[in-house]
Every structure is written in C-alpha cells, then in structure tokens.
C-alpha cells in the first residue's frame, strides 16, 4: 500500500450523506414556475412519467450489474418530460435543474469528512471527485460547495458531462489524464462495490470501500480486494502510518 499523490472521491454516500431525495417535491417546485400548462397537468402526473422514463433508461431501480455505462444528461431528460405534456418554462435548463434539486435533495457532509479533507490539504495530497450523476457539473459543484465549502477539489467529473458512468474504465482514465498521474499514484474512495471499488480496481487504482454512510439497500460486495473503512478518522490514521 503506497501513500497516494491524489485521492479521488465519489460524491453521494461518500463525501455527502444524501439522507433523502423526493422527486415529487422537486417536480412541484418546477411546476410552480411554469408559464403555460393548458391541460392542468399535475406534478404527480409528471413525476409518474419521470419514474417510467427512469426505469426505461435504467437510471434508478435497476440491479447495479445491469445499469447502463452511458449517462443521459438531466437537461435533455427535462426537455422531454415537460415538452411531452406541453408545459412551457421560461427558466433556463440550468435554472430548472437547480430549482428541482434544491427542493428534492436533503443531505449533509459525512461524519468527519471535513477533518479528513483538511488533513489531506495539510499533507499536500491532491483531491478530486468522480460522480455518477445525471445532474450537470454545475449542480455537482454547487452541491459540494454547499456542504463542504472549506475544501477546494482540483477537479470534479460529473458523468453527465462526459458520456461514461462508473464502472466504465473511460471515466477513471479521464481523471488520471486530468491529474497527470499513473494509477499507482492514486486512490479512489466510494461506497458502491461495483461502480466505485471494482471499477477503480479494474483501472489499476487502489480502491477504498467507504461504508460510513452506505445505504441499507446496497447489498453488493466488491469482487476485487480493497481497503474497507467506516470512518474517515480511521483512514487518516492509515495514511499517517504510510509516511
């Protein structure tokens, strides 16, 4: 186990504990901004179609091993959803997305992540983020800055902006290129056994399986060997021992 030059983090359930996500609440907030809704379509009707679309494209509610490796950007998803019902919105796609996310999401930093990130900064260990998200890179950055404003990540990769989702090797390779580092110089930390741990390991990156905020529905275990932790202080002590 080598001391890394960079640690790449997953976002949800790793940096941030997404305690709940209420799509209907987000849709209601967006619908309040509609300038035209001649058929009086309800938020419930819109969300019902959104749920069907998500299932059809394999976004949610799909076995992790069957999930697609290509990402569909939320802006085009929104376009289809609201134009299907003839609903007009004068807000930009970015503004609509932000309205939805602000209303739908409830989250907080994972326990001791602020202290761990400060340790990395003090130790000159670089940091970055790769997130599987249909939301834009702007939303990802805004979320991270909202919950972890004190830390400056070198770069943040949202899968929506770069075609590929984890565990596809292309998204990990992109991060390595952006960092100008070899796989042996990088660690990747995430909560998802398949997308994060196995995906990173298959790319030659040392993987850390973080289980401090893992969802109960997440039943998979990594096929590849990895370091397993439940608290950031635990990992801090491991890094200190590698000096």
Q: Which pLDDT band holds residue 64 (cuts at 50, 70, 90)?
A: low
Q: What is the percent of the chain with per-residue pLDDT over 90, rounded to a whole number?
A: 88
DSSP structure string for 189-240: EES-IIIIIIHHHHTT-EEEEE-TT--TT-----SS--EEES-HHHHHHHHH
pTM for this entry: 0.95
At a CB cut-off of 8 Å and minimum separation 6, what does 14 contact?
110, 189, 190, 191, 196, 210, 213
Locate tokens 């940096």: which residue? 15
Range from 49-58, 135-144, 166-175 carrying the lowest mean pLDDT: 49-58
Locate tokens 């209303």: which residue? 103
Structure tokens at 76: 């085009």
Give the model's pLDDT for residue 65.
60
Range from 30-34, 215-219, 227-231, 236-240 carrying the lowest mean pLDDT: 215-219
Distance CA 119, CA 25 (A): 37
Range from 16-20, 62-66, 117-121, 144-148 carrying the lowest mean pLDDT: 62-66
**If DSSP codes are grouped into helix, strand and coil, which group holds residue 36?**
strand
Give the model's pLDDT for residue 230.
96
Distance CA 130, CA 132 (A): 7
Q: What is the mean pLDDT of residues 14-37?
A: 97
Q: What is the mean pLDDT of residues 61-77?
A: 80
The 10s digit of each residue's pLDDT in 197-225 is 999 999 999 999 999 998 777 778 899 87
């Amino acid at each position: 186990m080598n001391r890394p030059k960079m640690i790449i983090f997953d976002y949800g359930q790793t940096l941030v504990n997404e305690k709940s996500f209420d799509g209907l609440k987000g849709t209601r907030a967006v619908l309040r901004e509609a300038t035209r809704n001649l058929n009086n379509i309800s938020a419930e009707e819109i969300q019902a179609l959104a749920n069907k679309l998500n299932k059809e494209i394999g976004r949610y509610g799909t076995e992790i091993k069957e999930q697609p490796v290509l990402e569909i950007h939320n802006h085009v998803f929104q376009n289809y959803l609201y134009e299907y019902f003839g609903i007009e919105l004068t807000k930009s796609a970015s503004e609509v997305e932000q309205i939805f996310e602000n209303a739908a999401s409830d989250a907080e930093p994972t326990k001791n992540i602020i202290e761990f990130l400060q340790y990395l900064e003090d130790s000159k260990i670089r940091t970055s983020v790769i997130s599987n998200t249909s939301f834009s890179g702007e939303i990802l950055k805004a979320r991270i800055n909202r919950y972890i404003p004190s830390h400056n990540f070198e770069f943040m990769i949202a899968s929506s902006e770069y075609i590929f989702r984890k565990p596809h090797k292309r998204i990990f390779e992109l991060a390595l290129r952006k960092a100008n580092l070899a796989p042996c110089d990088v660690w990747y930390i995430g909560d998802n056994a398949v997308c994060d741990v196995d995906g990173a390991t298959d790319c030659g990156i040392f993987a850390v399986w973080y289980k401090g905020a893992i969802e109960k529905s997440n039943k998979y275990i990594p096929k590849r060997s990895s370091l397993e932790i439940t608290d950031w202080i635990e990992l801090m002590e491991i890094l200190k021992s590698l000096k």
